[in-house]
Amino acid sequence: MPKDTLTVIDNRTGSQYELPIADGTVKAMDLRQIRLNEDDFGLMSYDPGLTNTASTKSAITYIDGDKGILRYRGYPIEQLAAHSTYLETAYLVIFGELPTAEQLAKWESDINRHTLLHTNIQRLIETFRFNAHPMSVFISGIASLSTLYPDARMVTDPANRRLQVERMIAKTATIAAFTYRHNQGWPFDYPDDSLSFIGNFLRMMFRMTEHKYEPNPVLERALNILFILHADHEQNCGTNAMRVIGSSQADPYSSLAGAAAALYGPLHGAANEAVLRMLEQIGRPENVPAFLDRVKDGDGQRLMGFGHRIYKNYDPRCRIIKQTAEEVFQVTGRTPLLDVALELERIALQDEYFISRKLYPNVDFYSGLIYRAMKLPASMFTVMFAVPRTCGWVAHWLELLTDPEQKISRPRQIFTGPETRDYVPMAQRSA
Ligand code: ACO
């Protein structure tokens, strides 16, 4: 009868250990018993980038990167993109079940009620230079929410957590819109709760002088789809940051700002911005082969929007975004950069370099083209990612705080610095 255990022989000592296997994992702490002698600290695992370490159990999002599967709470991303709205999906991701009609109506009205922003935050945004990167402004706006809601530190109170969740989902959209309008030099536009959450977001972003803003239904649907696709992606860099900061029981706005800061990196959420700059740099489809040669030569240039830590197959979100882009272009007109992107994808998917490394387009490859078609500057793209990802960050924050197995996040290190040595007076130091 096979046993769910791992037998380990420490060849340094000849000792044998039996470690339980559960959920396809061994517990890192079970390694600690493997010691050379009484004084030995015990064995640890070494995993830079946490590439093979499960830091939590989670019931939110399932990904099979080899098969290209993504599900929120069991529902395939394709079905949610086809039938759901962002707010309904956010409810599902955060609370675990699709809402009833009554629950959804209450959720939508609760969220809409919280979209208004304190004028202090508005004034804070106004103080940033006109050319400040929108992500820097957005992160600062999110962090400053904790100055207005000191009650958010009561993270052990479920009712209080629920209130902060509603505020976070609602106010990130308004901060994003204000960030954009500041970037453009336009006056801020206040929320209008006669519109849907996405319709209102479009209005806060794009309303000019018209008295009644009517969101374009194709763009409203496209944004719903993009927001659904970006709502969560399990333990990615930003979510891990949210969990790490949240594990100290910091207030959720501080954790959220940290998660957004992680998203800002070009290897993570800012890849959509980098993709657009790369497409502009390539310029025309005929320049694609030479560009790909430079990528393969390893001159430090990566093919942005390609590759993923988890997906070793086509990113399922990318397929949906590509289709959505076509619908958006029918309203906004087609950008010539789409031809460059299509040619890049076509050639890369036939190239041995990309095939052997299982590098496929990821979610960021086409999303920037939609945002560009909506006339957004590339620097706004990561903000457009952060607004819906707030839903995933919040869901993981709640899961973390209610998980009895979780502790303050505090990894170990392998110390490689000098052994103890005596302080050297300045006069005796050499260069
Ligand atoms: N272009 C060219 N080569 C690449 C790329 C790329 N985009 N991505 C990976 N590779 C190569 C690496 O050079 C490496 O090759 P080697 O084995 O010859 O050294 C191999 O593929 C494996 O790459 P790693 O960096 O080890 O893969 P990792 O899982 O650590 O990185 C990452 C994943 C960061 C996403 C990477 O693929 C990348 O930098 N992609 C471009 C940036 C990007 O699009 N990021 C967005 C990801 S989606 C998101 O975060 C929302």
Tokens in use for 210? 């018209």
Scanning 185-249, the segments in alpha helix (DSSP H) are 197-206, 217-229, 237-246
**Distance separating alpha carbons of residues 73 and 98, to the nearest angstrom:** 9
Mention every residue, 6+ apart, whose C-beta is less than 8 A from residue 309. 51
Q: 306 C-alpha vs ligand 1 centroid, how far in Å?
A: 7
**Distance separating alpha carbons of residues 340 and 282, to the nearest angstrom:** 8
Q: 357 C-alpha vs ligand 1 centroid, how far in Å?
A: 9
In the chain, ranges of CATH 1.10.580.10 domains: 73-268+378-401
- Would you state the pLDDT for residue 268? 85
Residue 268: active-site member: yes
Whether residue 256 contacts residue 281, with contact meaning beta carbons closer than 8 Å, is answered with no
- Would you state the pLDDT for residue 2? 85
- Would you state the pLDDT for residue 168? 98
Architecture of domain 271-373: Orthogonal Bundle (1.10)
Write down the catalytic residue from 118, 192, 268, 351: 268
* Domain 73-268+378-401: CATH class, spelled out: mainly alpha
Radius of gyration of the chain (CA): 24
Q: 13 C-alpha vs ligand 1 centroid, how far in Å?
A: 40
User: SS3 for 297?
Assistant: coil
- C-alpha distances (whole Å) from 209 to each of 57, 90, 92, 206, 218 are 50, 32, 36, 10, 22
- Would you state the pLDDT for residue 431? 86
Ramachandran area for residue 40 (φ above 0: left; ψ -120 to 50: alpha; else beta)? beta
- Would you state the pLDDT for residue 178? 98
pTM of the full structure: 0.93
- Would you state the pLDDT for residue 166? 98
Residue 83: active-site member: no
Nearest CA to ligand 1 atom 44: 305
Write down the catalytic residue from 114, 182, 308, 396: 308
Pairing of strands 5-10, 61-64: unpaired
Nearest CA to ligand 1 atom 15: 357
What residues does ligand 1 touch, defined as CB less than 6 Å away?
A: 267-269, 271, 295, 302-309, 357, 359, 362-364
Name the residue of 302, 347, 354 whose CB sits within 8 Å of the most ligand 1 atoms, as the mutation to test its pocket.
302
Pick out the chain residues at pLDDT < 70: none
Torsion, Cα 351 353 358 364, to 10 degrees, reads -80
In the chain, ranges of CATH 1.10.230.10 domains: 271-373
The atom number, within ligand 1, closest to the CA of 307 reads 37
**Distance separating alpha carbons of residues 176 and 178, to the nearest angstrom:** 6
Cα–Cα nearest to 302, from 324, 325, 350, 270: 270
